[in-house]
Amino acid sequence: MIARCLPLLLALCLPAAAGVFSTPQPPKPPAPNKSLSVVRVNATSQAYDFVRPWAKKPPGTRRGLGTLIEGGRLLVTAELIANHTFIELEKAATAEKSSAEVECVDYECNLAILKPSDPAFLAGMKPLALDRSSRVGDRATILQLEPNGEIAQTLGTVTSISVGGYPLDNMGLLLFRLSAPMQQRDGSFTMPAVRDGKLLGLLMRYDARSQTADIISTPVIEHFLKEAAKPAYGGFARAGLAFSSTRDPQLRRYIGLKEAGGVYVTDVMKGGAAEKAGLKKADVILAVGGHPVDQDGNYQDPDWGRITFSHITNTIFHPEDTLVFQVFRDGKTLEVPVKLAARDRAKIISESSVVDRPPRYVILGGVVFLELSRAYLQEWGGEWMKQAPQRLVFLDAFQNELPEDRGKIVFISKILPTPDTLGYEDLDNLVVSKVNGKEIRSLDDVVAAAQFPVDGYQKIEVDEDPGLIFLDAASIEANREALVRKYSLPSLQRL
């Protein structure tokens, strides 16, 4: 009904408008057929439940646009396909469909490459080249799909180019910010932004109130594609340090800093690139890779202007590259080569995001053991920092201060009441230090230690009250089947 009325209204209005303006509108250049470069992506996803780690949450569907880029690769945001169970591609105009697989995904930079199951699916489509020359003030267009398959275009202006937070993994990477008045449309999860027929980036976040869109920038996309082309994906390096500005003249005089710029190193991550290179807290970083760094940590990038120097370490350079840091320490200026490295995920005590893989758990006689991750804490919702169990929130927040060999933080998330756990029903979120006298640094340790009950008891030591928990080893063994059946558990462990 509405669709039929709309053209009619337009037809009536246009002549009237033409009559108002004294000069006729110049004819618009024919827009390139953008629909040839984008396909609709329908991703069904199902997140894991970290409170009931044996179950998955109800499935949901996200829709977005995949953009075909040079090299025949279909680019989407990683968020779109996080925890996916099924991905479907759909040509907007013809509704022709194909399922797809993820060829490469990196949640730190929020990008993924999809590969259609039907190799011929992308035939006839026109890839977009990457735009390499956008500047603040440039106009760009965000593409959306109307339900009928038409492309809706929203014109916006690049208002800033800076290093900013990417949503999934606390990574700071180059962002384009666009000011554009967008409307909620079918498939709002990933949308390409284009300029002069080239891809500027993928929209990953839109704030309706301020009408600003955050765009994953082309340098980040290029870095991701370069890594994806390697036999082993190396990702984005982290220098492994935190710094603060040296704007305070009193601080500058106190540390004897004469140069105009430099940032003060406030923290060096254990096992990170900076620590291995010998950088220390209280060092002042004067230059990185030959680029002088100002008081706020910015350098002058030939393409993007004044941006944070982390762009050099994480996006321009790649893991395994070596970069020279010029450092001011104790009145002297040193040249420190830093061999860049991506984060060693195996060494992370509490991971900030756990995607595409199920949480590990062990259930012993009704006692549920988990390894701490931020994903667990985030089950408490937006206010999780205040609502989630505080001991665990603090352990997660200050994990860099824990001993490097701490291993995972294993804790009892809850007790499934059974005859074996009588009297323990109210225990939850207790950090486990030992099981049967053996130190616990992972769930595997729990499983191994449980093989050796002490005097017939599983003896669990926890950091907080009640301190000690005993389970009858023979009885929990005998009650395994009943526990599985009563609580409909698919399995008593998943490692």
Determine contact, residues 46/85, Cβ cutoff 8 Å.
Answer: yes
When the beta carbons of 223 and 252 are compared against other proteins, the nearer one is 252
Determine contact, residues 39/191, Cβ cutoff 8 Å.
Answer: no
Instruction: List Cα–Cα distances, 437 to 369, 434, 460, 470, 471, in angstroms.
Output: 17, 6, 8, 12, 14
State the nearest-atom distance from the C-beta of 309 to other proteins, in Å: 17
State the nearest-atom distance from the C-beta of 381 to other proteins, in Å: 16
Determine contact, residues 43/86, Cβ cutoff 8 Å.
Answer: yes
DSSP string, 246-260: ---HHHHHHTT--SS
**One residue of 85, 179, 266, 333 binding other proteins per CB under 8 A:** 266
Q: Is 394 in the site for other proteins (CB under 8 A)?
A: yes
Q: Is 280 in the site for other proteins (CB under 8 A)?
A: no
Of 57-65, 157-165, 206-214, 262-270, the segment contacting other proteins by CB under 8 A is 262-270
Q: 359: which 2 tokens?
A: 């949480």
When the beta carbons of 337 and 423 are compared against other proteins, the nearer one is 423
State the nearest-atom distance from the C-beta of 457 to other proteins, in Å: 5
Q: Is 160 in the site for other proteins (CB under 8 A)?
A: no
Nearest to 451 by CA among 469, 476, 468, 485: 476
CA distance 15 to 34: 28
Q: Is 398 in the site for other proteins (CB under 8 A)?
A: yes
Q: Is 258 in the site for other proteins (CB under 8 A)?
A: no
Q: Is 421 in the site for other proteins (CB under 8 A)?
A: yes
Nearest to 108 by CA among 276, 223, 208: 223
State the nearest-atom distance from the C-beta of 26 to other proteins, in Å: 53
Residue 123: how many other CB atoms lie within 10 Å: 8
* Residue length of the chain: 495
State the nearest-atom distance from the C-beta of 286 to other proteins, in Å: 16
Q: 141: which 2 tokens?
A: 């267009």
Of 25-33, 95-103, 126-134, 458-466, the segment contacting other proteins by CB under 8 A is 458-466
Name every residue whose Cβ is closer than 8 Å to that of residue 366 and which is 6 or more positions away in sequence.
Answer: 415, 416, 417, 418, 420, 421, 476, 483
State the nearest-atom distance from the C-beta of 389 to other proteins, in Å: 11
When the beta carbons of 394 and 452 are compared against other proteins, the nearer one is 394
Give the phi and the psi of residue 194 in degrees, each rounded to 5.
Answer: -125, 155
Q: Is 367 in the site for other proteins (CB under 8 A)?
A: no
Residue keyed to tokens 């920092």: 385
CA distance 253 to 120: 66
CA distance 144 to 183: 9
Q: Is 404 in the site for other proteins (CB under 8 A)?
A: no
When the beta carbons of 251 and 334 are compared against other proteins, the nearer one is 251
CA distance 157 to 136: 8
**One residue of 464, 478, 482, 486 binding other proteins per CB under 8 A:** 464
Q: Is 281 in the site for other proteins (CB under 8 A)?
A: yes
When the beta carbons of 139 and 253 are compared against other proteins, the nearer one is 253
Name every residue whose Cβ is closer than 8 Å to that of residue 52 and which is 6 or more positions away in sequence.
Answer: none
235-254 residues in contact with other proteins (CB under 8 A) are: 242, 244, 246-248, 250-251, 253-254
Q: 489: which 2 tokens?
A: 């558990």
Of 9-17, 210-218, 264-272, 431-439, the segment contacting other proteins by CB under 8 A is 264-272
Of 135-143, 213-221, 303-311, 420-428, the segment contacting other proteins by CB under 8 A is 420-428
Q: Is 466 in the site for other proteins (CB under 8 A)?
A: yes
Residue 202: how many other CB atoms lie within 10 Å: 29
Of 62-70, 150-158, 385-393, 478-486, the segment contacting other proteins by CB under 8 A is 385-393
Count of residues of this chain found to bind other proteins when the rule CB under 8 A is applied: 38
Report the half-sphere exposure of 389 (CA within 13 A, side-chain side).
20
Q: Which amino acid is at 53?
A: P
Q: Is 424 in the site for other proteins (CB under 8 A)?
A: yes
Residue 9: how many other CB atoms lie within 10 Å: 9
Of 75-83, 85-93, 368-376, 418-426, the segment contacting other proteins by CB under 8 A is 418-426
Determine contact, residues 163/174, Cβ cutoff 8 Å.
Answer: yes
State the nearest-atom distance from the C-beta of 263 to other proteins, in Å: 9
When the beta carbons of 246 and 413 are compared against other proteins, the nearer one is 246
Chain residues that interact with other proteins, rule: CB under 8 A: 242, 244, 246-248, 250-251, 253-254, 264, 266-267, 281, 385, 390-391, 393-394, 397-398, 420-424, 455, 457, 459, 464-472, 475
